[in-house]
Each structure stands twice: as structure tokens, then as C-alpha cells.
Amino acid sequence: MTRTWQISDVADAAVARVAAARLATAFGVPPVERARLTASLGAQLLLCLAKGGTWRLALETGTVSRTAPQAAERVLHAVVTPSPEAAAAGQPPWRVTVPCPEADDAVADAGAGAVAEDPAELAQALLGADEDTALVLERLTEQEGLVDFHREELQQTNQGVVALHAELDAAGRAQREAFAAERKARTEAEHARRRLTFLADASAVLTASLDHHEIVRRLPELLVPEYAAGVDIWLFDQDGDHTGPANAAAAVVAARTGRPQYAAAHPGGLPGVEDQPPSAPAPDRPLLCIPLPTRQAPLGVVTLSSPPGDRWDPDDAVMLVELTRRASIAIDHAQRYQHNRDIAETLQRALLTELPAPPGLALAARYLPATHGLNIGGDWYDAFRQPDGGVIAVVGDVTGHGLRAAVMMSQLRTALRAYAVDGGSPGQLLTRLHTFLHHLQPDLFATAVIARFHPDDPTVTWAAAGHPPPVLRTPDGGVRTLDAKPGAMLGIPMRQEIADHTVPMAPGSTLALYTDGLVERRARGIDPGIARLADALGSFGPAELDTDLEGSADGILRPMLSDSERDDDVCLLLCHLRATG
């Protein structure tokens, strides 16, 4: 179906517009689309009237193919053809298409009808068009309300997004700060672990030696170059005198005050360290002067020069002060040990007896201190003559080590010599020593073995108190242990009478007295050691013992003490009756 109108004036345009509106209504064009159609058509017709001439409006129905294959969509086409003059001027036709949901040609013919040119009817028709406009405006108002609503939601959403971004940014900053703090804490923990490891390792090195010269030599090796470019150690003399080679002014202040000093052009800010002007010989090199503290007074001052272009941080300074304190303790202990060792060695040398040389009897003694401790213990030997011409040979062992054991050993040695002046057998002498030690030092004990030789007696009388048994070598090379029951240890809280034992001793015989340090080993006990001593003593020929008893003593010690480390003192006394003729 096609409808056409010729338009040359305003009345024709109004009639065409009204007819188009009615036809669109009859075809069921929705109000909004209908209003859009009539408004666009009206505007176009006004343009046509302005240009003049006769224009033609055609309204026709048609179909448009849909994507789905079920059906085609009916549409209403509106075409405004320009006047011949406008067409000649290049004016193109105007077209618009709207959907027709209820397109029915019969209904459209009945609904459209002819539009009279009566002004009243046209006015009424034009006023009726306002209903579509009102509906459009109502829809527009609704859409504006929706737009305002969505604009408000969008604004709130934007505000939420902005707030969320702010929160995310703050969370990101907090996370970055937390990561930075974690990295810093991890770095500080690693540095602290490194310092503690260094402090522990350095302390182990410094305390491993009892030679203070060695400690002083090792300290710079530990600190250079990581913590100092150079280290100078200034030790005071034994009287605490500060005199010595020229030292930095800060070191002198540290020596006088006993407090660490930092000498540099700028304050160091080091905890527990006082600031001083820079050192005159090296003003560009900071110095850290730390005293070596002890309970009484500093032992000296350690001066550290910083690496070029570097300074100590507070944690390094605390660690260096602590290391110096530990070095001071190690040096102090080493000096005290050296002092006590010198005293002990002097005492030990004073107590070593010069053996007598009685007719017919040769004596050889060996004493070896333990390789640990103060190198002095309670082992001792002695040999001396009695007024009746007899010779007393004794080997003893006071429990413990150190000066106290050495002093007690000296007292026992002196007491034995005093008791022996009045005579008495070995058992009687040991009994008197037992009583003496019990009253003098109730908490100290001792063992001893005494042998008495007399030129007119072909026997040897011996007695022992808690001591390893003597070993006797006969002239024919046979060796036996004198294992008669000994008395108890000297000094134990009990009354005892120690018995004498007598065995024949022909010329050419050798009696070995010794302490347990020669024969006892922790892993094997004492009996295997006594057997080894017997084997060593039996390995010599008679002439060898007669001519070189000193060399024989060394020959016994070599296989018996093959290991260089000894936990106990070793004492050996060989008594050899020379062969007659």
C-alpha cells in the first residue's frame, strides 16, 4: 500500500503531517516512534516550504528481512521527494523508516481516511498530536529520572572507587613500608648474627692460648681488615705503669680514665664512648681507643684505626668493646697462669732432690710433669742416708695438682726426713706420715712407697700405703712385682699400722719405685701398665744397668710414654745394687 501527497503550501504540509500520524497510529507504530516520525516529518516539510516548489510525500508499507528465518518485519517508509527545481539543484530525497508491529492494510485504510482541509479539523488533528508529544515528554521525564538515579549511583560508585583506590594506595604504602621494615630487620639481624658469630669465634681463638704474647699477636689478625685498618696494643708493665712508647692522646686518656675514647673530626655518637679531638699524626683517620679492663686496673689500651673512608657504627663499637673486654680477660688469665707457673716451676726445681751416691748402690730418678695445668703436682721422690748407714728411697703422690699439692708434698718430704733421723723402718715411717697428714690436712690424701737398703743386709725392706707395688729385677733377668698387701692411703680418717715387707736383693738386682702416672691409662687400667714396666725392666742386660743406670731410666720411659699428652705426673726411681767384683 502506498499513499502520496503533493505539498506546495502550509495547508498541504499540515494535511500530510496529520495523515502520516493517523496512518502510523493505524499501523500500530509505538507512540515514541510515532512522535519521532511526525516531528522529523514536520521539520522536513518546513524545510520544503522554505525552499518552495511542489514536493511529494509518499507513505508505503514494506518488509525487512530479519536474521531469524521465521518471518520478515513490516515497516512504514516515509519518502519526501524534492520539487523539480530542488532535484535539479542536487537535493536528495528524504527518507525515514519505522517498524509497524500491527501492520494491516485493511485496518490502515479504515483508520487513515482522508484528511479534510477544514482548518478546525486540522487544528484538532494537530492538537491531538500533542498527546504523543506529552507521552514522549513523560517518557523523557522517566528517563531523566533514571539518568539522575544512575548518575547518583555512578557518583557514589565513583566515590567508593576513589575511596577504594585510596585504601588500596594506603595498603600498598603500608605493605611497602612493612616490606622495607622487614628487609631492614632481616639485614640488621644478619649483621647481628655476623657480629655474634665473629665475637664467639674470636673469643674461642683468644682463650685457646695461655701465652699472653700469642693473644696479643692474634688480636690484630682477627680485626684487620674487616673492623680496622690497623691495631696497636699498648700493654702496661706489671706495676701498672703507663709509661711506654708514644701513643695517641686519646689512648692516654683511655689509659687514665679506663673508658673508651673516639678521636675524630666529628663526634662518633658511639654508645659508652667519649669523643676526643682528632689525632695529630692522622687527623683524617678516626681512632677508637679501648682500655683492656680488669677488676683492679686496665692492663693496657687497644687503639684501632678505621678503614679509609669508613666509620664504626654503634653496633660495631659495642661488639669491639666487648671483644676487647674478653681479650683483656684472656690476657689477664694468661699472665696469671704464667706467673703461677713460674712459681710452681721454681718450687718444683727446689724440691727435686740431688740423689746420694752410697757405696754399692746406684740411684736414678726421673720426674715428668703433666702436660696440662700448672705443670706441677704432688708426685715426688727422695733418697737420703740414715744415721746407721742405711739408705731410704721413697716415691710418693699427693692427691690433686697445683701449688697446694706441691706445698703438701714438700711438707711430707721434710717430715719424712725428720722422722728418719730417729731411725725406724719403712712401715713405721709411713705410719707416722699418715698421722701427720691426717692432723695437718684432713682433706688431703697421699700414697707412698718406701724402700730401705743397708750395706750389711742382703735384703731390702719396703712398705707401701695405697701405692702401686715396687717391681724387682733379679740379676738373672727375672722380674716380679712385690705385691704384698699395702696399707691404706695416708691421711684417711682411720687408725692404721703399716706393715714392713722384706725380700732378698742380691747384687746386680734393680728395684723400680714409681707413681701411677707411669703405668695407669684411663682406657686400660693399671695392671697392663705394670706388666709393660716389668717387660721394659727385664729387657736390659746386667752390664747395661751397672754401667748406665741413667740411660736405662730413659729407656724405660720411652716405650711407657709413647703419647705426648699426659694427664698426670710421672715419677720413676731406680735403685740398683752394683754387682761385686
pLDDT in the model for residue 313 = 87
- Look at 97-106, 130-139, 424-433 and tell me which has the smallest mean pLDDT: 97-106
pLDDT at 499 over 60: yes
Residue 306 has pLDDT above 90, yes or no: no
Taking residues 104-121, what's their average pLDDT? 58
Query: In DSSP terms, which residues pair with 32 in a beta bridge?
Result: none
pLDDT at 113 over 60: no
CA dist 147 and 140 (Å) reads 10
Does the structure show a pLDDT above 80 at 536? yes
* Architecture, CATH, for domain 352-577: 4-Layer Sandwich (3.60)
Q: Which pLDDT tens digit goes with each residue over 219-260?
A: 999 999 888 989 999 998 765 555 555 678 899 999 899 999
Q: Which residue has the higher pLDDT, 14 or 496?
A: 496
Q: What is the pLDDT of residue 262?
A: 93
pLDDT digits (tens, 9 = 90+) for 149-171: 888 889 988 998 999 999 999 99
pLDDT of res. 336: 86
pLDDT at 489 over 90: yes
Task: State the DSSP H helix or E strand holding residue 570, giving kind and residue range, or none if neither.
Answer: strand 570-577
Which grid coordinates are listed for 149? 538515579
Cell of 266: 666529628
pLDDT for the residue numbered 114:
56
> What confidence tier does 137 reach under pLDDT thresholds 50, 70, 90?
confident
Mean pLDDT score, 133-144: 82
- Rounded to the nearest integer, the mean pLDDT of the chain is 85
pLDDT for the residue numbered 15:
86
Q: Are 324 and 292 contacting, i.e. CB atoms less than 8 angstroms apart?
A: yes
* Cell representation of residue 496: 692404721
Q: Is the pLDDT of residue 128 over 70?
A: no
pLDDT at 12: 86
Please check the confidence at residue 514 and state whether its pLDDT lies above 60: yes
Residue 122 has a pLDDT of 66
The answer to which of 3-12, 103-112, 230-239, 503-512 has the lowest mean pLDDT is 103-112
Q: Are 78 and 28 in contact (CB under 8 A)?
A: no
pLDDT for the residue 467? 95
| Confidence band, pLDDT 50/70/90 cuts, at residue 142 | confident
pLDDT for res 344: 67
Q: pLDDT band at 524, cuts 50/70/90?
A: confident
| pLDDT for the residue numbered 219 | 92
Buried b (16+ CB within 10 A) or exposed e, 485-513: ebbebbbbeeebebbbbebebeebbbbbb
Q: How many CA atoms lie within 13 A of 55 on its CB side?
A: 27
Specify which of 83-87, 245-249, 510-514 reaches the highest per-range mean pLDDT. 510-514
Mean pLDDT over 41-68 rounds to 84
If one compares 290 and 347, the residue with the highest pLDDT of the two is 290
Whether 405 shows a pLDDT value over 80: the answer reads no
Report the pLDDT averaged over residues 473-499. 92
Quick one: average pLDDT of 384-410? 86
Most confident residue range from 124-133, 179-188, 501-510, 567-576: 501-510
Instruction: Give all strands of the β-sheet with 471-473 in edge-to-edge order.
Output: 361-368, 570-577, 510-514, 471-473, 479-481
pLDDT level of residue 61 (50, 70, 90 thresholds) = confident
Are 406 and 344 in contact, with CB atoms under 8 Å apart? Answer: yes
Read off the DSSP letter of residue 274.
Answer: E
107-113: long-range contacts (C-beta < 8 A, 24 or more apart)?
107/26, 107/27, 108/1, 108/23, 108/26, 108/27, 108/61, 109/1, 110/26, 111/22, 111/23, 111/25, 111/26, 112/3, 112/19, 112/22, 112/23, 112/26, 113/22
Average pLDDT over residues 430-452: 91
The predicted model gives 181-190 an average pLDDT of 90
pLDDT at 104: 59
Q: In terms of CATH architecture, what is 212-342?
A: 2-Layer Sandwich (3.30)
Report domain extents, the chain: 2-117, 212-342, 352-577
Q: What confidence score (pLDDT) does residue 144 get?
A: 86
> Between residues 130 and 561, which one has the greater pLDDT?
561
pLDDT tens per residue, range 363-380: 999 988 776 555 566 788
pLDDT of residue 23: 86
CA–chain centroid gap for 108, Å, is: 98
C-alpha to C-alpha distance for 212 and 237, rounded to whole angstroms:
13
